[in-house]
Structure 1
């Protein structure tokens, strides 16, 4: 037996690599098609918006003023304000959209209560807290 011929023989390499590539392509295509068939493809692109809010607490009047400081413009129908002790009075922003500089005042805030700005995904109903602050004691 000639070992030089055995080590230089590479006829079987090409079919093995071809089979591995075909299997890899099939798995990737199945994953992509399965993702969109199950409807997961739409949810991948719907992530929470990037927005910055400031909270100005006036504990003498039990109020908080929430101001959109910057970031994406938001649809007010997708935004809610909630407290750890319930929903503050007037817990919606006015107008159709919330853009930088818009603010709203909410009453019924208790000392030590955590106030959250919550975004609801219009495509699927999932929610994300995009800002939060705790009222001073």
Structure 2
């Protein structure tokens, strides 16, 4: 038996096997990268959530109707048409934000249902995200 010839044959067979394994690995990695890229683009089709810092600056619960003042402290400019105001979970059509709402501006919301313990939310309708959520406390 020729030992030298046996080892030479087995070394030659390893090269094609490694080549096939590398080609399969490259194909799997490329498929994963392309799939992630394509699926990632699908998530960006919807409207992006704006970033805005809103705060409850003041409140006048004795006014008729009661009022609260919301201040835009930073972030993106908001379009009032894209915002809805909910008071204790119900949409308040008469307490909406008109026009644009940009940094440094104040908007006064007035509604007869505003009182101590009332939860006010401002929702960005296209993205469905809540921009402001606070309970009024006297």
- Which bracket does the TM-score occupy, shorter chain normalised? 0.7 to 0.9
**Where does structure 2 lack aligned partners over 5 or more consecutive residues?**
none
> Which residue number corresponds to residue 49 of structure 2?
48
- Shift of the 51–33 alpha-carbon distance from structure 1 to 2, 3 Å rule, reads closer
Q: How does 1:1-137 map to 2 (within 5 A)?
A: 10-11=14-15, 12-33=17-38, 39-43=42-46, 46-55=47-56, 56-61=58-63, 62-84=66-88, 86-88=90-92, 90-95=94-99, 97-107=100-110, 108=112, 109-121=114-126, 126-136=127-137
Alignment partners' CA distance in 1, 2:25 and 2:33? 12
Deviation at 1:131, TM superposition (A): 1.2
The structure whose residues are more often helix, as a share, is 2
Deviation at 1:87, TM superposition (A): 3.9
TM normalised by structure 2 equals 0.73
Residues 64-116 of structure 1, C-alpha deviations (whole Å, 9 max, x = no match): 11111111111111112211163447322232x21012222122212101101
Q: How many equivalent residue pairs?
A: 128
- Shift of the 15–87 alpha-carbon distance from structure 1 to 2, 3 Å rule, reads closer
**Where does structure 1 lack aligned partners over 5 or more consecutive residues?**
none
Alignment partners' CA distance in 2, 1:83 and 1:76? 17
| Poorly superposed stretches of 4+, deviation over 6 Å | none
C-alpha RMSD over aligned residues: 2.9
